[in-house]
Amino acid sequence: MQKFLEKNYRSLILLILIFMLSVSLLNAKNDSLIYDEAAHIPAGYSYLTQHDMRLNPEHPPLLKDLAAFPLLFLHPKFDAEADFWTKDDADASQWNAGKNFLFASGNNPDQIIFWSRLPIILLSLLLGLFIFKWTRELAGLGAGLFALVLYAFDPNILGHNHFVTTDVGIAAFITFAFYYFLRFIKEPTRKNMLLAGLFLGLVQLAKFSAVLTFPVFGLLIILYPLIKLGHKKSKLKILGEYLWKGAAVFLISFVVVYVAYYLNTYDQPQTKLPEILDHYMKPGDTRALTIYTRAVILSINHYPALMPMADYVFGVARVFQRVGGGNITYFLGEISVQGFLSYFPIIFLIKEPLPTIFLLFFSLAITLLAMAKSVISEPKKIGHHLAHYLRTRVIEFSMLTFIALYAFTSITGRLNIGLRHLLPIFPFMYILLSVGLFRFIRKRHHHAKRLSYLALSILLGILIFQTIMAYPSYTSYFNSLAGGPMQGYHFATDSNADWGQDLKRLQLFLTAHPEIAKIKVDYFGMADLDYYIGGRYERWWAAKRPIEPGWYAISTLFLQEGIYDQRKSDAESYRWLRDKDPLYQVGTSILIYHLTPSEIN
């Protein structure tokens, strides 16, 4: 088996990536504009052409710049005289920009959307290669291929790697940043310092949640030199070297951030950021955090040379403000803006493929068992074993620490809008799973080793088969515990199930059903109804009355919120549809109902 892999691994990698690329391109073509893309696509194009970050400043520019790069060759019209650029407030402007740029300026929206998605797809392929590379370095060729399959055939990766959003992008750049920072930790040479600083800067430019890497990297800078082998007298000297070199890495990263923000904002008026700040953090807000945040941002923005960093600091502050404010969430028959502590653990268990979940629990079990044996057999040497583990397994320790920190922050946060927010820890999950399993198997006897590899092959076969069969419903993927992609919306909506991806499929559905002359539509998304189904729809919403006979197309997000939001009376809700089964399900996120006059009466 090993000889076969060594001879054919490049072909296997190519086949895996071809599958990933093929389904990603097909979904990029067939999925309609999702909600967040309406803000991200025009924002990125404005950064590259207007050098002004007034649109969507709550996310850093790197991924939007990458997505917008192909558009430079298409030369779409961008109307810098329109209200979204000159008059609208900071929040409305980013959404109105999407409507104008994609659907009201004479551009080809499907062409723009497809080409904007292509760089994110390519970045996801690069991440797959990187996962293979790193895992192979840690545990060999077989483990590397195993990790790549776990990644490439994860429906949640395939569900988000073709959208212009930050989720797969931040997963990629966090992986790159950890790899090069850990190379620096092991060998603090000038080259490794520069690479670590470069990628630490790039990850900050991908998404602001990258700040969670700081405490992990800071801990490594202090901890690793203290547990390195050597004379005790040299510990302080080694620590001092790591501290100043670590500070240099962080300094390099902020230079990278500054340069990138400068290139994206050098034509932005100095008065624009204070206007945006006044919208999101009101001048009359008496809360101490708001007062101090405003003061810091305005003082930085006062100096023209520091304006790029003022935009960066505002973005970080805005993200923490949004997380603290929560979001309307449907989850397991309840609506909340406060968040659910059980949200991410349960969402993970019902959205991740069952073979991956089984492997995860098995890996945790063998790890905990090994730790227990070590403690029981030599209880007085726990400190020695811990130091040895940190010294020889610093990469695994770093990944586990970040997973724990990121998971804790996500679980205790109030922003419950999708499993996608956990994607930054997924690459480490694939790597740790593969490394742990293959190290465990290598310690088995020959017969047990063969059985173990057979079991892994069967589980991978099941994973591959299930993922292929789930096509094209990757964004709304749920495993069989939740009834599959078609039933997942009963458990959770938003980007787990309904992100506006099925409007083009509704267009095809109406073409195939000419008997539906007009349909009442309550669509969750930013794609333009007139562009796709103009003349065949009437706008509808949960509180619209009177209820009329006819055809209805209702997004699952609006349906569930319309049924379970107890703040709404029956006259403002969709509770009249609670016990009625839809006639059709378009894609997975749009339900089709038909009401007769007798049903209304």
3-state secondary structure 508-556: HHHHHCCCCCCEEEECCCCCCHHHHHCCCEEECCCCCCCCCCEEEEEEH
Residue 155 lies in a domain: no
Query: What are the tokens at 360?
Result: 């995860």
Q: Which of 217, 238, 263 is the last residue of a domain?
A: 263
∠ CA 426-146-153, nearest 5°, is 60
334 within some domain: no
Strand-pair category, 329-331 with 334-336: antiparallel
Provide the 10 A C-beta neighbour count for residue 250.
Answer: 17
Q: In 35-166, which residue ranges form alpha helices assigned H by DSSP?
A: 37-50, 62-68, 83-86, 90-103, 109-139, 141-152, 155-158
Question: What is the amino acid identity at position 554?
Answer: I
**Residue 249 vs residues 212, 216, 237, 306, 440: alpha-carbon distances, Å:** 16, 14, 18, 20, 36
Of the residues 327, 358, 376, the one at which a domain ends: 327
> Does residue 232 share a domain with residue 120?
yes
Please indicate, yes or no, whether residues 69 and 88 belong to a single structural domain of this protein: yes
Do both 495 and 576 map to the same domain?
A: yes
Domain match, 79 and 223 both? yes
Predicted confidence at residue 375, as pLDDT, reads: 65
Closest Cα to residue 531, out of 216, 156, 104?
104
- Asked whether residue 253 falls in the same domain as residue 277, the answer is no
Length of the chain: 601
Angle at 407 (CA atoms; ends 403, 409), nearest 5 degrees: 120
Q: Which candidate, 552, 560, 548, 535, places its Cα nearest to that of 592? A: 552
Q: 499 lies in a domain?
A: yes
Angle between helices 213-227 and 382-392 (to 10 degrees): 110
Distance of alpha carbon 597 from alpha carbon 601, whole angstroms: 6
pLDDT at 325: 62
Residue 405 burial (CB count, 10 A): 16
Name the pairing type of β-strands 550-555 and 590-595.
antiparallel
Taking 3-state DSSP, the helix, strand and coil percentages for the chain, each rounded to the nearest 5, stand at 70, 5, 25
> pLDDT tens digits, residue range 177-195?
999 999 999 999 999 999 9
Q: What pLDDT score was predicted for residue 586?
A: 98
The rounded distance, in Å, linking the Cα atoms of 297 and 197 is 24
Does residue 152 lie within any of the structural domains? no
8-state DSSP, 492: B
pLDDT digits (tens, 9 = 90+) for 450-489: 899 999 999 999 999 999 999 999 999 999 999 999 999 9
Query: For residue 41, which of 56, 52, 58 has the smallest C-alpha distance?
Result: 56
For residue 48, is it within any domain? Answer: yes
Neighbours of 390 (CB within 10 A): 18
Omega into 472 within 30° of 0, i.e. cis?
Answer: yes
53 and 87 together in one domain: yes
Give the three-class secondary structure for 552: strand
Sequence-distant (6+) residues with CB within 8 A of 535 are: none
Rounded Cα distance, 418 and 493, in Å: 8
Cα separation of 261 and 275, whole Å?
A: 18
Residue type, 539: R
Question: Which domain range does residue 592 map to?
Answer: 488-600
Residue 56 lies in a domain: yes
Which residues of the chain carry a pLDDT beneath 50? none
* Domain identity same for 281 and 245: no
What's the first-to-final CA gap in the chain, in angstroms? Answer: 69
In a domain, residue 281? The reply is yes
In a domain, 379, yes or no: no
Q: Are residues 225 and 276 located together in one domain of the fold?
A: no
If asked whether residues 217 and 322 sit together in one domain, one would say: no
Residue keyed to tokens 């990850």? 203
Which domain-ending residue is among 225, 246, 263?
Answer: 263
Q: What is the pTM of this model?
A: 0.95
Q: Are residues 164 and 298 in the same domain?
A: no
Instruction: Give ∠ CA 24-29-31 in degrees, rounded to 5.
Output: 85
The tokens 């992990």 sit on which residue? Answer: 216
Which of 103, 106, 52, 107 is CA-nearest to residue 80? 52
229 and 311 part of one domain: no
Same domain? For 106 and 218 the reply is yes
Q: Report how many domains make up the chain.
A: 3
* Distant-in-sequence contacts of 305-309, Cβ < 8 A, 24+ apart: 307/265, 307/268, 307/270, 307/273, 308/258, 308/261, 308/262, 308/264, 308/265, 309/254, 309/257, 309/258, 309/261
Q: Write the pLDDT tens digit of every residue in 78-134.
A: 999 999 999 999 889 999 999 999 999 999 999 999 999 999 999 999 999 999 999
